[in-house]
Amino acid sequence: VDYALYNFPNPVTTDLTRNPSGRSIGTTISFKIPDRSHVIVDIYNLKGQRVKRLFDAKVFPGEFNAFWNGRDDQNNEVSTGFYMYRLMIDGRVVDTGKCTFIK
């Protein structure tokens, strides 16, 4: 299978002393799709509850990025902890990854 899924930076922090640039604090989840597909990228907490839908679109083959700012679907900042991100292609889960969010 010719796809990829990863994120950077990891861990994700909201501590401005670690990010004095003032840029958006979060992580970029990158993925590569080999064929025209419907792609969904979601963030889940360790209880298996969906926290945020980052990406939901039909795409052509290529590389894509989805930025997560550590907020849920209601725009609340998430708690410190581990989060999973899941890549679905045409309704099938094809890969998952893990990131750590630190306040």
Tell me, what's the pLDDT at 14?
62
Tell me the C-alpha distance between 50 and 36, whole Å. 25
Taking residues 24-45, report their average pLDDT.
91
Rounded alpha-carbon distances, angstroms, from residue 80 to 33, 41, 57, 83, 91: 30, 21, 29, 9, 30
| CA 81 and chain centroid, separation | 14
pLDDT in tens, 49-98: 999 999 999 999 999 999 998 899 999 989 999 999 999 999 999 999 99
Tell me, what's the pLDDT at 74?
95
Tell me, what's the pLDDT at 13?
72
Q: Which pTM value belongs to this model?
A: 0.85
